[in-house]
Amino acid sequence: MRSPEQIGRIIAALEAEYPDALCALEYGKDYELLFSVRLSAQCTDARVNLVTPALFARYPTLEDFAAAEQEELEGYIRTCGFFRSKARDIIGSARMLLDRYGGRVPGTMEELLALPGVGRKTANLILGDIFRAPGSVVVDTHCIRISNRLGLVDGLKEPEKIETALRAILPAEKSSDFCHRIVLHGRAVCTARKPDCGGCCCASDCQFFSGS
pLDDT at 212: 59
87-103: pLDDT as tens digits:
999 999 999 999 999 99
Q: Is 174 a catalytic residue?
A: no
Cα torsion angle, 70, 72, 73, 77, sign: positive
Helix (H, G, I), strand (E, B) or coil at 139: coil
Cα separation, 76 vs 97, in Å, equals 21
Catalytic option among 30, 45, 140, 174: 140
Q: Is 140 a catalytic residue?
A: yes
Helix (H, G, I), strand (E, B) or coil at 93: helix
Going from N- to C-terminal start, the domains of the chain cover 4-21+136-210, 30-129
Catalytic option among 86, 121, 129, 205: 121
CATH topology of domain 30-129: Endonuclease III; domain 1 (1.10.340)
- What CATH code would you report for 4-21+136-210? 1.10.1670.10
Helix (H, G, I), strand (E, B) or coil at 179: helix
Average pLDDT along the chain, 212 residues, taken 10 residues at a time: 94 97 94 98 95 98 98 98 98 98 98 97 97 97 97 96 97 97 96 96 94 66
